[in-house]
Structure 1
Amino acid sequence: MNPLRPFRRTLWAPLSAALLGASALLWGRQVAAEESAAEKLFREGRALLVEQRFAEACPKLEESQRLEPSLGTKLNVAYCHERLGAVATAWVGFQEALTTARTEGDAAREAFARSRIEAIAPRVPWLRVRVSAGDAGADQLAILIDGAALDPVAWDKELPVDPGEHVVAAAHRGEVFWQTTVTLRESERADVAVPPAAPVEPASAPAAVSRPEQRPAARRDGAREARSARAAAPGAAGRFVYEAGVLVGFLWLEAGKIDGCITRYGTCSFNAETDTFLAGATGFVGYTAMERLDLGLRAQIGLHSSEGILFALGPSASYLLGERFRVGSTLLFGTATHTAEVYEQGGYLPAGSGAGYGDEGPVETDLPLGFSLGLGAELGMKLMDSPAGSLFLQATPLFLVGADGVAASLPLGVAYRWN
């Protein structure tokens, strides 16, 4: 019997425990560091999401989900893709979140995911890649969408893709022999037919295709994603919006009750009507109370060719319809004036009018509408997007009723809305 064996047994027990404890401690610190990094990325991504910097927010949220998968992060990733304009990627993400929420019994998140799926589904473009069933060498054929290999089970089936340009290519034995570019807008569908593979000539063979890590079809580069986010995404709730624009149009005004001319029978009054050209400016300052809905204050001021002004101001609601159109309504308070020629009818006009008793000559007089109430409308169509906001072609008709007359205008112009 070895005399050192009891000693070795006595030494091995505490040494093993120490090694196991150190390993557990190191593993725990590594997990904690990863969890801390995931939480930090999630907070940064959420902050960028609130600021509508979607192209920067999505990668942080995706990395947070990779480090520490959770249903909440998954929903945030899908929502970020939706706001970025990547509606197909968002639709797939919400579908996955719906399944997870249903498995975990989270009714609130399940309902949220379902509501987003229903909202996004009509906007998703679909692409079908048709491959000839009798194509020679089909077992060595590869179909790629934006560089990502498409599983053969997905051939000849409609696939959700994000709006924008997509490159569809076909390779035989690793060599590209055909490709085309397809541009899809929201809700559109397209079919692409792949021609039969031609024999590959060694002398003129194209460069071999490298197959990157497969990602969802239709993922675009960051610049295009940023443009889509500005074009497609409505404003997130909890931010201020500002708008300024110019307008030209038509103004009809009937106003000008004049008391004070003297006749044999007492005082008299005159009214005048005018159709005139209007030019001016419009503005809106508001707050996004909920997605797509801005509440605030709208003002419109203009000068017209009958030497008068139009001014109106009031609370306004503005709503984004789809991705290009905006409608709104305003309760207006304002006034309008114009200069017109009126005629004495059998009386004396006030001193300095230039007309006397019995004259019927014209007298130029300012005719005010007085304090007025009315309604206005907003009809806008988006022309372009920029990093800070959007440019709209806009009509802002209004109707005012005052103590001494009425006014109506139909102006058309352009306005820029800062988000």
Structure 2
Amino acid sequence: MKPLRPFRRTLCAPLAAALLGASALLWGRQAAAEESAAEQLFREGRALLVEQRFAEACPKLEESQRLEPSLGTKLNLAFCHERLGQVATAWVGFQEALITARTAGDAAREAFAKARIDALAPRVPWLRVRASAGDAGADQVTILLDGAALDPVAWDKELPVDPGEHVVAAAHQGDVFWETTVALKESERVDVAVPAAASAEAAPAPVPAAASRPARRPAARSPAARLPRARLLPEAPRDGARDERSVRAASPGVSDRLVFEVGGFLGHLWLDADKTDVCVNGDGECDFSLSTGSFLAGATGFIGYTAMERLDLGIRAQIGLHSSAGLLIALGPSVSYPLGDRYRVGGTLLFGTATQSGPVFTDGYVWNGYDYDYRSDTVTTSVPLGFSLGLGVEIGMKLTDSPSGALFLQTTPLLLVGADGVAASLPFGVAYRWN
């Protein structure tokens, strides 16, 4: 048998390597599939967000975050919960995103999360569950909040909850002996006193923290979207001013999908226009053209509507003055689309015109009553391009990002063609886009 041992070793080594390789390949395929599924869910969730179908978007973003946690998904998920009116869940989500962004050194997203936290804080309802002194301890009584056991450490502490109905129950040795439903609205604070097991029949009803703000039952919300109970959040400070402050939930509308852009540019304009006019030196008609390039300075703007995922439809306008004593005006329907997180491209169908002034040499024969005389002269005239059609292009690169929008370095070249000539411009400038 001894001569077989080297053979066995020779055979086992490739077998082990093949098994390890197959396992690594299967693991890699599974990880790639999960990553692909997470990315697909994120894109579907984002598209539903843009379409304001928040109830459908949140579950997809939640599953994407579970498969592949990321800061961007966390922020979108918190925003989705905010739009659903789940202000406490959104508030917690933005706090987690703030910590993640701060750790990653992402100042723009940190500022965005901080702004949403500050905006949501006055709207969060708070619930305090008070247990009887004799029942302090999980071995005697278990307190349930929306069906989940509440850690004894959280007893008698204010907990952020979403607006709507919440069920508070108490169980002893697995048997529920007391239960009540309490409804909270935004900014409200409510205390619930849980009776001892022996005095369950004489249990007092929940008492609002502020007597001037009686609890009223709002519309029910989806139980599946309630705030997770696994994490214990710090007790909220008692602020009398906040107790009396009521903030209405913002309803998503058309304004949430509007996009604005304002920018300035410097560049060059080429204009070649023809003009037929009466000569200043007689009654004859003179044909002449003015073709020149000149320095151009002006402003550009865009107002649009996010029609679908990452696609903006709207109107772009450009207006500029140039050194040939004229102007350029162009506007028309435009489409704009981001390439990744940094670049943006777009196109515009333009309607507009351009003018310029300059010296023109004119000559021709003029009838003097008896014969034709040849005359020539140099005049200064204004040459309009007339009504023109053309195309424009938008190419932008993001310089900085902020909670409200982004600053772009961009160029918006255009070409106009009219019956009297053509005009082209190549501008470079910066523009800020509010999203």
- The TM-score, its normalising length taken from structure 2, stands at 0.48
TM-score normalised per structure 1: 0.49
